[in-house]
Structure 1
């Protein structure tokens, strides 16, 4: 049976967040990117973004904001609202949305579905229905060309009578018991709306409640049981903690079985304090939470490697990592591609912010975007010429020159390597 999903909502007007369905903005007026990140780290399976804007100018602002939301969200994003033509669907898909929901109260959207499904894929096209008639009158079209249904209360009953399609139920209902009964329905493939979107709802806790009630949901479970772990003399296992983006080692701590299970259940790194002899969730008092991305056991089953999203500093001293005291170091070249790219990019940014006399980088910034673009074009042509040469060294030099000038362009236009790598990963 397919796992049922919890899908919080974000609501936009003119690209800014507005309240709705119990949503509270924890991160300041309009900071939907931070709210999207919060949902990603706290048990949500997907994210639903409604565009309530009016007029083309406001709509363009909303699409730009949705692009920013997709850039920070690590869960799939579905866009709905204010979709009127093929171009709207195209822009939302290109912005990074995994799915787009067409409002079937609009005849123009009904007419769009088949063509959009054939162009972008059935799995990307959802339909939003608000009455049983919108489904029954278009049943064959929806079943043939939609990947799923986003529906309001009670509509799922009509869908279940006539079809095997799954419904994402968008509801204002707030009571856990009622929501649990809705989730048990065969047609309901997921839940959205008031309860799921409220910032004080603990989605991991609700998922555990669903699991206990026999409802299949996406929860973290260990592929290897605790009984197979090799523990130290204190009954603990050491945990090496890395930043999931950079692989930087952040800290070393220990877990007992309760800490391990709490980590799985909560999605937040939880350890056993040897000094205090108690369980502690990292960041519970400081706010420097570690959201679990992966847990891996080593070859001897006696050490865990945790990759986490670190909020703030990992070390109690305020340092990003606990490992900051040099003991010895031999000189070597760090050729890790992403680290090298980031270091060069950081130097370029520093030149931009703190100009240095005689710097070629500052010369390019002073000449402006047209000069930078001209150099990027020239270096690209040099690569093409070098590629015809049997000596690969020449090509190596030209690609290096090209990448440098591209990074100057990135710095000039405010594009980061993280944005580039995230886009590549998404593709």
Structure 2
């Protein structure tokens, strides 16, 4: 079985969208393995607002989330999954009518569908739970559970993935996590508590959870004469170099324990967790070591500015340079997209891009269609020179369409990652 997961849940009913997004982001940074976001309100306005909130969260966080929504028909399920949710959750008590449910389960794989069951109102045996797996639900979420032999038998005999939703007021987290076939526990218990601390406690009890563990002991690092090792810090998404600082063994251990970059200040002769005073925390995504074991490379999610001057990176001053052509696809596409977006926000007279925006979506779509056709025709030519021009034209017009529709490259890349 894969590692057990702590999955905070957020009830979106009667909550401001901004509050839900903020809390989801906090959990994402501070050790949650996934999120369970739900709003089972049936009215259309609340449903649409929640879907909009989910799309905003998908842009912001980098961990999976499942979405609990009221589903009446196939379109409801499709729209919920298109927010970027890894699964949608339906409540056992309000499943759609049989015809609609069959369409949903036939159109989506079971790893996209989950069902939530209230075990206090409607206790189930393993045989009953397996009926939902056979219907097409790959995950079953159990709430209001009592850890009894009946529950243990039901869970251990279930073919679907099991997640337990619990406030951890009466039940113990370690006991729930230890149940056979339970993939994780969803709870709101950690809204103001340390998830990494809880994970370390679970790890000490022999429960396999995701924590930061070094593959090379600090004693095997090659340190400077002062007992420190330099750490180069990069943005985990763009690989932009943000800063360089130094770590001793204590700060290294603290970084692993908290998931926040912690350094040793040579001037103050003390540990400092980046962000404790400024709020500009660096949440660890990956730690690497070079071939000589004498330099750490940290890939982080940077909150705010890395530099004390307020600049994003400490490396903002140019010493010397010469012109060169940057052909990094990420850089080129991002910069071109930014130019196109800037044209929309700040129109420039005579700009072809502004001509397209002025003509509107129908003109942009027409051009995308024309360029796609020209690319297909060029591909039949044995000489690839023409093809590269047509692909470039299609990419440009596609980016105009993306700006017009409010998408950026992060949205597209996340969708490609979701399809892996």
Kindly tell me: are residues 105 and 134 of structure 1, through their superposed partners in 2, closer, same or farther at Cα, counting changes over 3 Å? Answer: farther
Cα deviation, residue 257, structure 1: 1.4
Cα distance in structure 1, aligned partners of 2:198 and 2:248: 24
Structure 1 partner of 2:90: 102
Cα distance in structure 1, aligned partners of 2:290 and 2:180: 40
Structure 2 partner of 1:170: 165
Report if the CA contact (8 A) 2:69-2:80 is conserved. no
Structure 1 partner of 2:361: 369
| 1:228 matches 2:216 | no
Match of 1:404 among 396, 407, 412: 396
Kindly tell me: are residues 111 and 262 of structure 1, through their superposed partners in 2, closer, same or farther at Cα, counting changes over 3 Å? Answer: farther
Report if the CA contact (8 A) 2:95-2:101 is conserved. no
Match of 1:85 among 54, 73, 78: 73
Report if the CA contact (8 A) 2:47-2:69 is conserved. no
Cα deviation, residue 331, structure 1: 0.9
SS in 2 for 1:408: helix
Report if the CA contact (8 A) 1:99-1:126 is conserved. yes
Cα distance in structure 2, aligned partners of 1:109 and 1:67: 27
Cα deviation, residue 116, structure 1: 4.6
Kindly tell me: are residues 388 and 183 of structure 1, through their superposed partners in 2, closer, same or farther at Cα, counting changes over 3 Å? Answer: closer
Cα distance in structure 2, aligned partners of 1:183 and 1:377: 52
Cα deviation, residue 55, structure 1: 2.1
| 1:340 matches 2:329 | no
SS in 2 for 1:357: coil
| 1:135 matches 2:124 | yes
Cα distance in structure 2, aligned partners of 1:409 and 1:119: 29
Kindly tell me: are residues 64 and 282 of structure 1, through their superposed partners in 2, closer, same or farther at Cα, counting changes over 3 Å? Answer: same
Cα distance in structure 2, aligned partners of 1:406 and 1:188: 44
Kindly tell me: are residues 188 and 397 of structure 1, through their superposed partners in 2, closer, same or farther at Cα, counting changes over 3 Å? Answer: closer
Kindly tell me: are residues 315 and 131 of structure 1, through their superposed partners in 2, closer, same or farther at Cα, counting changes over 3 Å? Answer: same
Cα deviation, residue 143, structure 1: 4.8
Structure 1 partner of 2:145: 154
TM-score (norm 1): 0.89
Cα deviation, residue 174, structure 1: 4.2
Report if the CA contact (8 A) 1:314-1:320 is conserved. yes
**Aligned pairs (5 A) from 1:8-157:** 8-13=8-13, 17=15, 30-106=18-94, 108=96, 116-117=104-105, 119-131=107-119, 133-136=122-125, 138-144=128-134, 145-155=136-146, 157=148
Report if the CA contact (8 A) 2:40-2:68 is conserved. no
Report if the CA contact (8 A) 1:383-1:398 is conserved. yes
SS in 2 for 1:385: helix
TM-score (norm 2): 0.90
Cα deviations by residue, 1:23-56 (Å, 9 ceiling, x for unpaired): xxxxxx6342232222111100110011132223
Cα deviation, residue 93, structure 1: 2.4
Report if the CA contact (8 A) 1:130-1:155 is conserved. no
**Aligned pairs (5 A) from 1:160-309:** 160-164=152-156, 165=158, 167-174=162-169, 178-186=172-180, 188-196=182-190, 198=191, 200-309=192-301
Where structure 2 has 5 or more consecutive residues not aligned to the other structure, the ranges are: none
SS in 1 for 2:200: helix
SS in 1 for 2:330: helix
**Aligned pairs (5 A) from 1:347-358:** 347-358=339-350
How well do the aligned residues superpose, as a CA RMSD in angstroms? 2.4
Report if the CA contact (8 A) 1:268-1:289 is conserved. yes
Cα distance in structure 2, aligned partners of 1:371 and 1:70: 30
More deviation in 179-188 or 156-165? 179-188
